[in-house]
């Protein structure tokens, strides 16, 4: 198993990419701390892992709060004895996120609190724990929009994911010689509840699909396998990357007929 003997913490582990990654990590031998603000969803993930014979614990935390982030790391170490893998995955895409003219300050601030500050706080408290474990891997969920402007305006989200990518590069540079790898996972558009709520009309969905050479939305399970690679020792020489898993969207100048 690719993560045998490892301890992983996954924020946003109750749904989407986080849920599928939690199950996959457990199948590959990791002990998993599932963090989410949605208690029922987080506990359900843990129950599914345990039903398959894996080890997991649910931790309630709001990643925009320092005290919660500190506690989620402490609880993980207290429960499983170490932390080797930190997947800063929790994030939001607000339905009222739009262009600069029409995005409210409250939407901007909330998006930055969760998507950017949440990653910062995860690293702030997680890096010392990974250092104590002798090194490991941090994966921060950014997005393909960290590299391209979105066809449907979502300025706060796009700016937040650009910040995650830049933060990841600097953290990777700072901590590389400590045996701590830091990579930005940049998924393309996925058929997740989060995105489908945002792309809430057929017109919005089609405006996104027309730019994807593969002609479909990605699946969260497909992204989970990319996270597994970045978390495992197979990616031991990979750090500071913009790890795109996007169906070719960033490679395309025009969409094929």
Distance CA 245, CA 223 (A): 7
Tokens of 135: 């090194």
Q: Is 157 one of the catalytic residues? A: yes
Tokens of 214: 């593969």
Backbone angles phi, psi at 2, to 5 degrees: -80, -20
Alpha-carbon separation of residue 131 from 86, 164, 178 (angstroms): 12, 21, 7
Backbone angles phi, psi at 256, to 5 degrees: -65, 150
Q: At what angle do helices 66-80 and 118-132 cross, to 10 degrees?
A: 30
Q: Per the residue annotation, which of 58, 157, 225, 253 is the catalytic one?
A: 157
Pure H helices in 57-176:
66-80, 105-112, 118-132, 155-175
Distance CA 189, CA 45 (A): 23
Pure H helices in the chain:
16-27, 39-51, 66-80, 105-112, 118-132, 155-175, 193-198, 202-209, 220-231
Break the chain down into helix, strand, coil percent, rounded to 5. 50, 15, 35
* Residues across the chain: 257
Which residues are the active-site residues? 157
């Amino acid at each position: 198993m690719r993560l045998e003997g490892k301890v992983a913490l996954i924020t946003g582990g109750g749904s989407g990419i986080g849920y599928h990654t939690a199950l996959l990590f457990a199948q590959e031998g990791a002990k998993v701390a599932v963090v989410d603000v949605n208690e029922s969803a987080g506990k359900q993930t843990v129950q599914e892992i345990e039903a398959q014979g894996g080890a997991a614990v649910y931790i309630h935390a709001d990643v925009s709060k320092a005290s919660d982030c500190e506690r989620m790391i402490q609880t993980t170490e207290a429960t499983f004895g170490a932390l080797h893998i930190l997947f800063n995955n929790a994030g939001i895409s607000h339905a009222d996120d739009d262009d600069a003219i029409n995005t409210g300050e409250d939407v901007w601030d909330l998006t930055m609190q969760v998507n950017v500050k949440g990653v910062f706080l995860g690293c702030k408290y997680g890096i010392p724990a990974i250092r104590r474990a002798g090194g490991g891997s941090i994966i921060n969920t950014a997005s393909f929009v960290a590299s391209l402007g979105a066809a449907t305006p979502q300025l706060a989200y796009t700016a937040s994911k650009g910040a995650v990518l830049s933060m990841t590069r600097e953290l990777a540079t700072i901590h590389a010689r400590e045996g701590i790898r830091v990579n930005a996972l940049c998924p393309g558009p996925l058929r997740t509840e989060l995105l489908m709520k945002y792309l809430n009309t057929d017109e919005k969905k089609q405006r996104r699909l027309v730019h994807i050479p593969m002609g479909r939305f990605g699946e969260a399970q497909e992204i989970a396998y990319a996270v597994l690679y970045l978390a495992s020792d197979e990616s031991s020489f990979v750090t500071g990357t913009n790890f795109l898993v996007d169906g070719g969207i960033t490679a395309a100048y025009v969409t094929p007929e």
